[in-house]
Structure 1
């Protein structure tokens, strides 16, 4: 889980790579769920929120 303060310290390029990494991790979790290998389904929700958090901070930085 990425903390907001850690994400705010990164620049826009680093945030974009962070979003891509989070999306890859989320895709892996979705595939585990589809193949009945995911035990903790709450991790999907956490991953989605991490992606949203990173995208929000990225939008704030590019909007300035």
Structure 2
């Protein structure tokens, strides 16, 4: 199930980074399964990519709100 932006905004920066790392790891494993024709739910890859984008967007929003640049 896709994460909602409101849900992600309730997390701390550290928690977002940890979940982002987990999501990227899961995406890697899903791509491996897809390459070996063992993936059952191909829609999970797309949903996970969008979740990763949402997390990165919220981290960037917070960074800009603090007045920082990358």
Q: Normalising by the residue count of structure 1, what TM-score does the alignment of the two structures yield?
A: 0.88
Superposed CA offset, 1:11-64 (max 9, x none): 211111111111011111101101111022111111100100111011111221
Q: Any unmatched runs of 5+ in structure 2? A: 66-70
Which runs of at least 4 in structure 1 moved beyond 4 Å after TM superposition? Answer: none
| Structure 1, unaligned runs of 5 or more | none
Mapped to 2, the partners of 1:33 and 1:59 lie a distance apart of 30
> Rg larger in 1 or in 2?
2
More helix by share: 1
Q: Relative contact order: is structure 1 or structure 2 higher (C-alpha 8 Å, sep ≥ 6)?
A: 1
TM-score, with normalisation over the residues of structure 2?
0.82
Aligned to 1:42: 43
- Counterpart of 2:18? 17
Query: What residue in structure 2 maps to residue 52 of structure 1?
Result: 53
1:12 touches 1:62 (CA, 8 Å); kept in 2? no
